[in-house]
């Protein structure tokens, strides 16, 4: 009930710019007393919502500070399962590491581990992932699909589509997908996805989707070595965004596409993914751990594997590589 009242208040206050809502109006809408509204307004303020109150006029939403905590991740969350169990931490080595541990301790599907800062954030191919305090989204989502391990790479592509659409919706920015896991704006990396799993040869036990999104960093926040290749949503738009709002949108999208995937398979997701992908239909170089192949990227398979046709006409299936 408490969170329903909060949602009802937020819905009303966000429904129009600059209008005031009286305590009575909010109470009627939420089906509770004015005293309850007052208490919830206080609660929302302590979660970072800036709510002005004026005598004879009522309440008005001025904005939201960009604080991350369990409360403001849950208030307004529209999912059924994803992110319903959330572990928020101020500082961690890596949210992946914690999610792996929780996965072994029978944490439920949809558990989200999210931190303000990672001191040893990790990326693909044993690289590190710069995750400074308070500016980005560093999170790992635990899923438990009943599938064979070969299907795991598809989840990187599902997550990519969910994030691209969340950024479009919340920030009005167009994002390109570079296979398999990079999201780019104007050719610079804004997001990386790292899908890891615990499995036996037949079956996935848990799948951990790590997502690192550069949100409110300025160019100076990036070190010299990555400034040329990395960007943030703030740099691209000159706006500052609520990270909790973006997280909630990603979780909603992921839940929607996860359900589509379970019901209809990968095909519908693949079609959407191809719309946003910049890797396909181009001459590229794929650098795997032990070789380099040049050729034409003709598409992805139904497993999410990249198809590359070299100059002799031979098709190579690329499971993991850096693409140039």
The interface mask with ligand BTN, positions 56-95, x = CB under 6 A, is --------------------------------------xx
Going by C-alpha positions, the residue among 71, 90, 171 that lies closest to residue 134 is 90
Select the residue interacting with ligand BTN from 139, 142, 163, 244 (CB under 6 A).
Answer: 139
Q: How far is the CB of 202 from ligand BTN (least distance, A)?
A: 27
Give the number of other CB atoms < 10 A from CB of residue 296: 16
Give the number of other CB atoms < 10 A from CB of residue 81: 15
Q: Would the annotation count 118 as a binding residue?
A: yes
SS3 13: helix
Q: Would the annotation count 212 as a binding residue?
A: no
SS3 80: coil
The interface mask with ligand BTN, positions 178-207, x = CB under 6 A, is ---xx---------xxx-------------
Q: Would the annotation count 124 as a binding residue?
A: yes
Q: Per DSSP, what are the bridge partners of residue 89?
A: 115
Select the residue interacting with ligand BTN from 140, 206, 217, 231 (CB under 6 A).
Answer: 140
Nearer to ligand BTN by Cβ, of 132 and 299: the residue is 132
CB-based contact 123:96 (threshold 8 Å): no
Q: How far is the CB of 98 from ligand BTN (least distance, A)?
A: 9
Distance in angstroms (rounded) separating the CA atoms of residues 201 and 36: 54
State both tokens at 121.
């954030």
Distance in angstroms (rounded) separating the CA atoms of residues 38 and 43: 9
Q: Which residues fall in the annotated binding site for biotin?
A: 118, 122-124, 189
Q: Which residues fall in the annotated binding site?
A: 118, 122-124, 189
Binding site for ligand BTN (CB under 6 A): 94-96, 118, 121-124, 127, 129, 131, 138-140, 181-182, 192-194, 210-212
């Amino acid at each position: 009930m408490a969170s329903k009242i909060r949602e009802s208040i937020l819905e009303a206050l966000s429904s129009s710019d600059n209008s005031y809502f009286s305590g009575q109006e909010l109470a009627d809408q939420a089906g509770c007393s004015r005293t309850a509204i007052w208490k919830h307004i206080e609660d929302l303020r302590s979660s970072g919502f800036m709510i002005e109150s004026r005598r004879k006029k009522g309440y008005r939403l001025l904005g939201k500070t960009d604080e991350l905590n369990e409360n403001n991740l849950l208030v307004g969350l529209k999912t059924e399962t994803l992110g319903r169990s959330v572990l928020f931490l101020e500082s961690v080595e890596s949210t992946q590491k914690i999610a792996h541990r929780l996965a072994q301790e029978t944490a439920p599907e949809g558990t989200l581990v999210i931190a303000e800062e990672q001191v040893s954030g990790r990326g693909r191919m044993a690289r590190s992932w710069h995750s400074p305090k308070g500016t980005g989204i560093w999170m790992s989502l635990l899923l438990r699909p009943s599938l064979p391990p070969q299907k795991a790479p598809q989840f990187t592509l599902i997550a990519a589509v969910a994030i691209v659409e969340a950024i479009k919706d919340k920030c009005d920015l167009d994002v390109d997908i570079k296979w398999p896991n990079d999201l780019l704006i104007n050719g610079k990396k804004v997001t990386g996805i790292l899908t890891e799993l615990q499995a036996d040869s037949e079956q996935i036990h848990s799948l951990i989707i790590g997502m690192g999104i550069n949100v409110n960093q300025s160019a100076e926040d990036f070190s010299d070595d990555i400034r040329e290749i990395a960007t943030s949503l703030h740099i691209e738009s000159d706006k500052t965004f609520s990270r909790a709002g973006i997280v909630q949108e990603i979780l909603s999208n992921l839940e929607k596409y996860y359900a589509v995937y379970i019901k209809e398979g990968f095909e519908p997701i693949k079609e959407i993914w191809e719309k946003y992908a910049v890797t396909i239909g181009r001459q590229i170089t794929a650098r795997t751990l032990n070789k380099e192949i040049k050729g034409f990227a003709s598409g992805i398979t139904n497993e999410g594997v990249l198809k590359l046709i070299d100059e002799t006409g031979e098709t190579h299936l690329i499971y993991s590589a850096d693409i140039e």
